[in-house]
Amino acid sequence: MTPGIERATTGLADPATIKTGLAAAATINAIRSCVHCGICLPACPTYRVLGEEMDSPRGRVYLMRAVAEGRLDVTETYTHHLDLCLGCRACETACPAGVPFGSLLETARADIERHGARPLRRRLLEAFLFGVFPHPHRLAIVLGLLRRYRRWGIQALVRRSGLLRRFPRLAAMDALLQDVPRTDAALPEFLAARGRTLGRVALLTGCVQRHLFADVNRDTMRLLSLAGWDVVAPRGQGCCGALELHAGRLEAFRARARALAAAFPADVDWVVTNAAGCGSALRDYGHWVGEDAAASRVAARTRDVTELLAEADLPLGSLPLTATYHDPCHLAHGQRVRSAPRALLGRIPDLRLVPLADSELCCGSAGVFNLLEPEMADRLLALKIARIAETGARTVVTGNPGCLMQIARGARERGLDLAVVHPVTLLARAVRWEDR
């Protein structure tokens, strides 16, 4: 038996002590809605790799309940089992009882944050990651340094030295970025609809997305305009808080949610995202920041870009290639958007879309999971790349920046000639812009 888990088999806590975090009344009721049927187990990436009960959704819910009821302390062992969870929410899709595992995990991680149960090295790495990634201006500075790291030959020198083998988390960071594009050209704050106007939308430009995939944001604006939407992209918008939400840094997340919601105009019909993790976080604003009217409004109006474009009459020309589609976890499971991306790709003439086995199995990116838990992330990436190779496709399509970088890395390391692109990238290539 895992050390510390045996304490979970004794006595119940006094209900009067159940106050906050996992032990809040509504949360413990959600925990108790799990009937331990095990239907979720085959859907769980870590259970498929490890085969360990405590690294399955059912096992983790059992641990959460023990902590909530005061039968188990927040220990390093408990923390390790929860940290190995990718938060992909595939178990939510599989669960017949509707257990809200995503919000339970985020609550449990908030408890862990308060207890400080993680090792010092992990806490220092998290301090760096969360001090950079949710801050677009800081991220721009770090990416500028990384460009010099590559251009001046330092990266090649470090790789040849073998130093990275001693530091797997640093090695994961180094391997992830093959190229660091410049993003000097800012998006326009407003782009008018072409032709008949359907309404007005706001575009979330994101953090990683705006710096590493600026072309995706640019194509998103152009395609929405072509589809008949006036598009606003407020320059003052910040981070959506997704990374902090998934890490249980709930106060920081709530502050970002309120600030971002206030940055969007109140009169837009939709708030559009092109990053699955960001869209899922925005749709959860109602749960976490429901007392804020602007945040609740954003939650109700958030749509993935593929949902709006799937309804549009776009002038599409031939794009002769064979592609396969990988479902980003927080699009398929967090937002329940599966058919719209496939419908869009299926409308491109001469594009052959082949099915991908285990399309909804996480690729191992999961926000910053691949930087914090590189060994598990690499094992999942190997499974994903093997499935992609089986399709024979030369193009992989997916709608999340983390997935784009992770799968591209896996293809490079295995010598596969794969283009890994966002759905709007292919659409923009196929559109006959002169026809409108």
Burial of 42-62, coded b for 16+ CB within 10 Å and e otherwise, reads: ebbbbbbbeeebbbbbbbbbb
Please check the confidence at residue 246 and state whether its pLDDT lies above 90. yes
Q: What mean pLDDT value characterizes the chain?
A: 89
Please check the confidence at residue 83 and state whether its pLDDT lies above 50. yes
Strands 351-354 and 395-397: unpaired
DSSP labels for 51-76?
--GGGSHHHHHHHHHHHHTTSS---H
* 60-66 average pLDDT score: 96
Q: What is the DSSP letter of 419?
A: E
User: Is 67 inside a domain boundary?
Assistant: yes
User: Is 158 inside a domain boundary?
Assistant: yes
Number of Cβ atoms within 10 Å of the Cβ of 343: 14
Asked if 372 and 339 count as a contact pair (C-beta separation under 8 A), the reply is: no
- Tell whether 31 and 89 lie within a shared domain: yes
Cα 45 to chain centroid, rounded: 15
Q: Which of 67, 100, 115 is the last residue of a domain?
A: 115
- Tell whether 198 and 269 lie within a shared domain: yes
* 387-392 average pLDDT score: 96
Q: pLDDT tens-digit profile of 165-201?
A: 777 777 777 777 777 677 656 899 999 999 889 999 9
> 161 falls in which pLDDT band (50, 70, 90)?
confident
- Tell whether 28 and 136 lie within a shared domain: no
Q: pLDDT tens-digit profile of 120-160?
A: 888 888 999 999 989 988 988 888 888 787 777 777 787 77
Strands 419-421 and 395-397: parallel
Please check the confidence at residue 4 and state whether its pLDDT lies above 80. no
Q: What is the DSSP letter of 186?
A: P
Binning the chain into helix, strand and coil, the percentages to the nearest 5 are 55, 10, 35
- Tell whether 275 and 354 lie within a shared domain: no
134's tokens: 């949710």
Strands 229-232 and 199-203: parallel
> 435 falls in which pLDDT band (50, 70, 90)?
low
Q: What is the pTM of this model?
A: 0.90
Q: For every residue of 380-409, which 3-state class applies, written as one string? A: HHHHHHHHHHHHCCCEEECCCHHHHHHHHH
User: Is 185 inside a domain boundary?
Assistant: no
Number of structural domains in the chain: 4
Q: What CATH number corresponds to the domain at position 28?
A: 1.10.1060.10
- Tell whether 163 and 209 lie within a shared domain: no
Residue 123 phi/psi, 5-degree rounding, is: -65, -35
Q: Which of 245, 278, 307 is the last residue of a domain?
A: 307
Q: What is residue 436's predicted lDDT score, i.e. its pLDDT?
A: 61
Q: pLDDT tens-digit profile of 298-310?
A: 999 999 999 999 9
- Tell whether 146 and 234 lie within a shared domain: no
Q: What CATH number corresponds to the domain at position 209?
A: 3.40.50
User: Is 75 inside a domain boundary?
Assistant: yes
- Tell whether 229 and 275 lie within a shared domain: yes
Q: Which of 249, 280, 307 is the last residue of a domain?
A: 307
* 30-35 average pLDDT score: 94
User: Is 312 inside a domain boundary?
Assistant: no
User: Is 389 inside a domain boundary?
Assistant: yes
- Tell whether 292 and 354 lie within a shared domain: no
- Tell whether 172 and 222 lie within a shared domain: no
User: Is 315 inside a domain boundary?
Assistant: no
- Tell whether 293 and 326 lie within a shared domain: no
Q: Which domain holds residue 389?
A: 321-435
User: Is 345 inside a domain boundary?
Assistant: yes
Please check the confidence at residue 10 and state whether its pLDDT lies above 50. no
One-letter identity of residue 416: L
Measured distance CA(265)–CA(271) in Å, rounded? 10
Contact partners, residue 280, CB within 8 Å, separation at least 6: 242, 330, 331, 334, 335
- Tell whether 84 and 165 lie within a shared domain: no
- Tell whether 197 and 303 lie within a shared domain: yes
